[in-house]
Structure 1
């Protein structure tokens, strides 16, 4: 049995060497390395099954014949074999639980533990029931998929030149007349500063090992999803101070009050005329863009679904076929839980715009780091998820804000 334990330890160290090499070279694992690790993990699992079977057999023999204890005692060499280290006992389980191997981070912490039901103990099932962990449905995210993405590699910020005033129109003139020298064209710069967005959680190793579900994988997915929804909320309503500037936030650096359209609406409700006025406040090229969307809270959509034009036709139209979205005045819409839904005089309650003119600057994609040793004395692992991101409207005329009168 000691020989099996030693082989397991050696295989675990092989995994550690592969991970250390990738970390030293500051890169993610290659496909070949990932495949190699999974093969090693499968072998470790088989060896553990063999070891468990041998131990059960050994215990059964002793129970049936106590006199055989001395005959079945492992030889001296086996008894003196050094047990696997703490790292060797746990690395393999954690490697198998992770989909990727990620680095970086400092974090807030909250411990999940097996012996406290509300902190994760419910996932340790007393019988084989399910491997799925049920949770509330996640809020949808869509801005990132339509926005203009910028990668900030080696600098602290991203400067985006934007034409503030165009050259004036040329004029027909005579053959030898002097050309008009234009000085109207001017530029401004929008600066985006990717800020650190981070969250972490501490988890009992007992919970990870004994749960019927893959707790580590579930936690990683939840952390990345949480970062995604916080990003989304800030892309829509962020203040712009150490966080993205939202589309719905009134700002001279984003969408100012000059883009508010309240004509036709009441001070408590959106009307058909108000929607028409907001849509045609946009130039045709923005309306025709594949990234043009209405953005509303579900409370606003409930109100809009009841609106009709002068001939009694609903403004909302169901999509035709699998690939045709439902529309309002011919423009697809998106429902967001992060859109304002306070229907009070003067407030923004929706918008229509070309989201390709919302800019997102990121220094790195969402990453998750597993801390396997930092909390070893507490019998815990920690997972840290983070990214560096900023965002804001680039050209305000690409957006028209549905505002109450």
Structure 2
């Protein structure tokens, strides 16, 4: 698995190099890229996106396979299956040997009268009452086919505080106005008088919930652990709901996002327009954003962009005509020497006045929970429809607590 991921990363690096070669040729001849070159460059970018998804898929599949340890990867219901009668109860009816035998006979002569009693009974479990609707036998594997999950990373880089247990909210004092610097004076003087002004930041976890229903028959006969999968998907969907709010939330009954201008979080004074055009982030704009932070914050800062913006940044060169994203360097996954993350929920509409990314010290994005995710299993409520219900619940809040720890990249007018 690790070897395959390494191969994919090397293939990605080669594609990036090829794409840059296309741009280099046009710039070396001091001209714009031709239509053919644009098509070639875009094809490289498409292939790079595919490989990025493959890498994420391989990494997630490795994790999922660990959780599915013990689930069979062999077709069920085969002749000579060593499973005892009790284990065979969980085999889907169309996977039983009796059904396979009956199905084969039906295909050969179409006469149900030639079936044994056991074969006829087996065939009836998946047919209409007359036994006339025949269902082909199936084999199942434990691998689930689904679209690639989006990245969820904000909790990894932010300051996640201990869950609340004795109160409804978390308050933290803020130093809104600091005392002036000390004065050079004489032995008997005390310097000019100064005062400090304090305020408070409050986080109040908000409830979030989801209810789903699953067929009892599916839970009983499926060859994959449906109940375990339901719990995993609920956990992921709660993570995605949080991620969206940490990015774009308005702070009303939900977290306050980093891309929402607010006096309670990051206000408009932290929007950096300098150097950017109305449709693109520039090298000068990135420099201006990075150094809008104080030195201590820069050392701990991360960038966040949508992948569409990263694709645009990949074309940018520094003042020495070098690409600022070099796949062959030791800082291939960094921009201006700081790591970057890609989020599907970051802004990607590159028009005048819109946000295009952010850099910040995410130790100053605080997340607090009052209720860790809980899942309740409902058996009786949906008994009439032969279903099982699952309710997931959680309470959480999040917000930037120090605006000067962040700088948002904004496109020019």
Alignment TM-score, normalising by the size of structure 2: 0.66
Question: Who is 1:118 aligned against?
Answer: none
Q: Which has the higher contact order (CA 8 A, sep 6+)?
A: 1
Q: Distance in 1 between matches of 2:142 and 2:281?
A: 46
User: How many pairs align?
Assistant: 288
Match of 1:94 in 2: none
CA positional deviation for 1:47: 8.4
Match in the other structure for 2:383: 376
Partner in structure 1 of residue 273 of structure 2: 262
Structure 1 residue 48: deviation in Å?
3.0
Query: Could you tell me whether the CA contact under 8 Å between 2:325 and 2:332 is conserved in 1?
Result: no
Matches within 5 A, 1:88-167: 126-150=137-161, 151-167=163-179
Displacement of 1:154 in angstroms is 2.3
Output the CA distance in 1 between the equivalents of 2:313 and 2:227.
43
Deviation, 1:296, is: 0.3
- Residue 222 of structure 1 is matched in structure 2 by 233
Q: Secondary structure at the match of 2:265?
A: coil
Alignment counterpart, residue 342 of structure 1, candidates 343, 349, 356: 349
Structure 1 residues 1-45: Cα deviation after superposition (integer angstroms, max 9, x where no partner): xxxxxxxxxxxxxxxxxxxxxxxxxxxxxxxxxxxxxxxxxxxx9
Does residue 1:175 correspond to 2:175, yes or no?
no
Find 1:278's aligned residue among 273, 282, 289.
289
Is the 1:240–1:246 contact (alpha carbons within 8 Å) kept by the matching residues of 2? yes
CA distance in structure 2 between the aligned counterparts of 1:359 and 1:325, rounded to whole angstroms: 29
Q: What is the TM-score with the length of structure 1 in the denominator?
A: 0.67
* Kept in 2: contact 1:319–1:326 (CA 8 A): no
Match of 2:220 in 1: 209
The change in CA–CA distance for 1:301 and 1:353 in structure 2 (over 3 A counts) is same
SS of aligned partner of 2:236: helix
Distance in 2 (CA, whole Å) between partners of 1:154 and 1:126 is 57
Q: Distance in 1 between matches of 2:314 and 2:402?
A: 30
Given that 2:184 and 2:191 are in contact with CA atoms closer than 8 Å, whether structure 1 keeps it comes out as no
Establish whether residue 315 from structure 1 lines up as the match of residue 324 from structure 2: yes
Question: Does the 8 Å CA contact 1:200/1:223 hold for their aligned counterparts?
Answer: no
Equivalent of 1:330 in 316, 331, 337: 337
Provide the secondary structure at the position in 2 that maps to 1:258: helix
Secondary structure at 2:284's aligned position in 1? helix
Distance 1:389 1:125, change over 3 A: farther
Pair 1:396-2:396 in alignment: no
Q: Which residue of 2 aligns with 1:186?
A: 197
Residue 251 of structure 1: aligned partner? 262
Report if aligned partners of 2:270, 2:406 keep a CA contact under 8 Å in 1.
yes
**Structure 1 alignment gaps of length 5 or more:** 1-44, 53-114, 116-123
Gaps in structure 2 of 5+ consecutive residues: 1-82, 91-125, 127-134
Deviation at 1:388, TM superposition (A): 0.2
> What is the CA-CA distance between 1:187 and the residue it aligns to?
1.6
User: d(CA) in 2 for partners of 1:175 and 1:222?
Assistant: 69
Comparing 125-134 with 153-162, greater Cα deviation is found at 125-134
Closer, same or farther in 2 for the Cα pair 1:164/1:203, shift >3 Å?
same
Deviation at 1:200, TM superposition (A): 1.5
In 2, Cα distance between equivalents of 1:168 and 1:243: 37
- The whole-number CA distance in structure 1 between the counterparts of 2:385 and 2:172 is 48
- What is the CA RMSD across the aligned residues, in angstroms? 2.4
Distance 1:319 1:169, change over 3 A: farther
SS of the equivalent of 2:286 reads: helix
SS of 2:263's partner is: coil
Matches within 5 A, 1:358-369: 358-369=365-376
Q: Give 1:364 deviation, angstroms.
A: 2.0
Report if the CA contact (8 A) 1:282-1:398 is conserved.
yes
Deviating more after overlay: 361-370 vs 259-268: 361-370
The alignment partner of 1:209 has SS state of: helix
CA distance in 1, matches of 2:193, 2:411: 45
> Relative to 1, partners in 2 of residues 1:239 and 1:49: Cα closer, same or farther, differing over 3 Å?
closer
1:51 Cα offset (Å): 9.6
2:298 is aligned, of 287, 291, 294, to: 287
Distance 1:254 1:200, change over 3 A: same
The answer to whether the Cα contact below 8 Å between 2:182 and 2:191 also exists between their aligned partners in 1 is no
Q: Deviations over 1:243-300 (max 9, x none)?
A: 10000001111111101111111111111111111111111100111xx111000110
* Stretch moving more, 128-137 or 388-397: 128-137
Task: Kindly state the Cα deviation for residue 317 of structure 1 after the two structures are TM-superposed.
Answer: 3.4
Higher mean displacement: 143-152 or 292-301: 143-152
Q: CA deviation at 1:377?
A: 2.5
Q: Matches of 1:278 and 1:389 in 2, distance apart?
A: 30
